[in-house]
Structure 1
Amino acid sequence: MKILCISDQIDPLIYSNTIKDRFSDMDLVLSAGDLPLDYLEFIVTTLNKPLLFVFGNHNLKELPFYRHSFEDRFRFYSPQEERDALTSGAIHVGSKIHREGNLIVMGLGGSLRYNNGPNQFTNRQMNFEILKLVPRLLFNKLVYGRFLDILLTHAPPLGIHDKEDPCHRGFKAFLWFMRLFKPRFLIHGHIHLYDLQDVRTTKYHETQVINAYSHYIIDTGAAS
């Protein structure tokens, strides 16, 4: 299965009338956050492939329709706003587990808390997001012989591809998750790459950690 991974930057190679020529052989698209939904809708509509996504810490206008906070219960949204938010064709997998073909994908969106903005979590809160999904992971292990194939996140793990500033520091929770549940890939965004020499892929135990900034293609080697 060939997977187009995207995050953080609207890539002119994708957002163009040549997208089919370049990416028609993709089986799946994974978005690691900080991209507008209309960009995701363009990809879904043009490639006609399933697209799974998580929200990051930017481009959060539609977040209340997918992850309801306490404050969202008291806000009014027009029917048109709701339709626009929910009809992109992309599938939100934030704090969820989704099976696409033979591939098991788990999503954990958001960044480490740095200014109390929306979709930011402390490490303890991210631990809780993971623990909520443990029963489904155990079910997967029993039925499919593995917990998951891909962990799709916005933020990176602590100490892998992250930065020292509070905004771009990674989650420690992802480290124990990889050691315990052994996803084949962890695909993240959040860390912009401006130098071709910047590290994009790192092996951590049995998991290949990949920065999906702009776009990156992986081949799982498994049939879709």
Structure 2
Amino acid sequence: MRILCIADEENKGLWDHFDKGKLKDIDLILSAGDLHSDYLQFLVTMGKAPLLYVHGNHDQGYEKRPPLGCECIEDKVYDFKGLRILGLGGSFRYKPGDHMHTEQEMQKRIQKVKKDIVLKNGFDILLTHAPVKGYGDMEDLPHQGFQAFEDLLQKYKPKYMIHGHIHKSYGDAYKQERMHSSGTKIINAFDKYILDIGEDEYPNEGKTGSFLYDLYKQVTNKKGRGTL
């Protein structure tokens, strides 16, 4: 599966100088936040891949003009052909805003979504806007990482974490790839990043190991084929 990961800055090669061939092999687009709504709509319209997103701290405009044709996956585990993606957007709260959170607020969000994590027997990708504490974050409050993400990675050990928020121009804090002590590969999706995931890196659809969820997927898939 080939995934286009994007965050923070619209890629001119994908928008201003668009060539449809650049999206032809993309199976899924993941936005880690702080991108113009029109940009997301453009990518999902011009390509064949669905687009899933979480909010950045500057995405308050989505409330009035959401990116049409795209799907917000905040506070849930989204199943894309067996690939399980947990969405937790926003940054540290440094002023009033809908997509900014204290450490305690992020902890509460994670507690609420744990039922979905357990139901689907974990997740393969953690999609956030902010980084995890201690891995590419910064000392100033707006760019601090969440300890809650550290705890989440240590417990569930997903294959990948995809975030934004730390721009290339920020200096030493920016690094496109990092390895977390849990074994999770952390990817900063600033601008764009192409992620190729092998079929052996996530379960087949309906084969998560969760009896209830796998049964649900088998039944709904049969209904979709008109055999039940």
Instruction: Give 2:189's aligned residue.
Output: 212
The 3-state SS of whatever aligns with 2:60 is coil
**What's 2:46 paired with?**
46
Aligned match of 2:132: 157
Q: How does 1:70-89 map to 2 (within 5 A)?
A: 84-85=65-66, 88-89=68-69
Aligned identity (percent) is 39
1:138 to 115, 118, 128: 118
> Structure 1 residues 24 and 163 mapped into 2: Cα distance closer, same or farther (>3 Å)?
same
Q: CA deviation at 1:102?
A: 1.6
CA contact (8 A) 1:6 1:214 kept: yes
Matched position secondary structure for 2:66:
helix
Deviation at 1:19, TM superposition (A): 3.5
How far the C-alpha of 1:15 sits from its partner, in A, is: 0.6
Displacement of 1:117? 2.4
CA distance in structure 1 between the aligned counterparts of 2:131 and 2:110, rounded to whole angstroms? 15
Partner amino acid for 1:178?
Answer: L
Shift of 1:170: 0.6
Alignment partners' CA distance in 2, 1:2 and 1:187: 14
User: Following the alignment from structure 2 to structure 1, what is the Cα–Cα distance between the partners of residues 199 and 112?
Assistant: 28
SS of the counterpart of 1:133? Answer: helix
User: Is 1:113 matched with 2:121?
Assistant: no
Q: Which has the higher contact order (CA 8 A, sep 6+)?
A: 1
Q: Between 164-173 and 17-26, report the one with greater CA deviation.
A: 17-26
SS in 1 for 2:61: coil
Query: Which aligned segments of 4 or more residues in structure 1 are displaced greater than 6 angstroms?
Result: none
Q: Distance in 1 between matches of 2:186 and 2:66?
A: 30
Structure 1 residues not aligned, in runs of 5+: 64-80, 142-146
Alignment of 1:90 with 2:70, yes or no, is yes
Q: Does 1:30 align with 2:30?
A: yes
**Counterparts of 2:17 and 2:47, CA distance in 1:** 11
What's the TM-score, normalizing by structure 1?
0.84
3-state SS in 2 of match to 1:159: coil
Are 1:5 and 2:23 counterparts? no
Q: With structure 2 as the length reference, what TM-score do the two structures score?
A: 0.82
Deviation at 1:89, TM superposition (A): 0.5
Once residues 195 and 20 of structure 1 are traced to their aligned partners in structure 2, the CA distance between those partners, rounded to angstroms, is 31
Q: 1:91 to 1:62 in 2, by over 3 A?
A: same
Is the 8 Å Cα contact of residues 19 and 47 (structure 1) preserved in structure 2? no
Separation in structure 1 between the aligned mates of residue 184 and residue 123 of structure 2, nearest angstrom: 11
Within 2, Cα distance between the matches of 1:149 and 1:50? 18
**Structure 2: how far apart are the matches of 1:131 and 1:195?**
32
SS at match of 1:134: helix
**CA RMSD, aligned part only?**
1.8
SS of 2:86's equivalent?
strand
Corresponding residue of 2:216:
none
Q: Secondary structure at the match of 1:132?
A: helix
Q: Which blocks of at least 5 consecutive residues in structure 2 are unaligned? A: 205-228
